[in-house]
Amino acid sequence: MREIVFDTETTGIMPGDGHRIVEIGALELIDRVPTGRTYHTYIDPCRSMPKDAENVHGLSTAFLTGQPIFEAVIDDFLAFIEDSPLVAHNAQFDMAFLNFELRRAGMKELPPTRAIDTLEISRKKHPGAKHTLDALCNRYGIDLSARTKHGALLDAELLARVYVELTGGRQIGFDLAATAEPEAAAVERTLVPARAHHASPEELERHAAFVTKLKDPVWLA
């Protein structure tokens, strides 16, 4: 099964308030395993970057000015995701921004039913716990040392690992058992010829000599 794990960075919280997407990162999973295929782009929001948002992801107005606008990258992104389910943390947020940008570009929106929300999965699996991406990484022993600030592709990579853990780990569908058989078959084996099941003349002679030394054997009682 093909799934796309993705994340966005934005200028703010609400797209209706004039906020825009400034970064998209996504990666491909096949049967819960990353294939190495990724998508990543920065986007010029055609507006200034609020300081609070810049403090979160480190993307400044100066850096984003001159990057491609959303309309220039959306076709490549849609081609990457195809019709696969979309995995995101707090998926309502990312889907709302994507659909706002799609509407603005005069394009068809993505149906909410395509989204798989790891935040909702975590709330059901770990009630009462913290459900931030950082908290889930810490819960599952996922290295966060590279995450000094939010970044769409890095967060998507971390989320992919969290998603695998939230949905049962890498042994979903007994994949490990299925892949072990070909590896075992490849191991070189040395066959030893079967031993004859009757005693040789030499063995019979040694046995007879041994029996003569027994005192009061039970079969003569």
* Residue 9 assigned to a binding site: yes
- Does residue 6 sit in helix, strand or coil? strand
* Phi, psi angle pair for 189, to nearest 5°: -120, 145
- Given the residues 40, 150, 197, 198, the one annotated as active site: 150
Distance CA 37, CA 79 (A): 13
Distance CA 101, CA 118 (A): 23
* Residue 52 assigned to a binding site: no
b/e per residue, 142-167, with b = 16+ CB within 10 A?
A: beeeebeebbbbbbbbbbbbbbbbbe
- List the one residue out of 135, 125, 129, 122 whose CA is nearest residue 87: 122
* Residue 57 assigned to a binding site: yes
Q: What's 29-53 look like in SS3?
A: EECCEEEEEEEEEECCCCCCCCHHH
Here the tokens at position 118 are: 């790891």
* Residue 40 assigned to a binding site: no
Distance CA 73, CA 71 (A): 6
Q: Which helix (H) or strand (E) holds 88?
A: strand 86-88
Here the tokens at position 84 are: 């696969």
Annotation marks residue 131 as catalytic = no
Residue stretches of the annotated binding site for a divalent metal cation: 7, 9, 155
Residue stretches of the annotated binding site: 7, 9, 57, 155
Which amino acids are annotated catalytic? 150
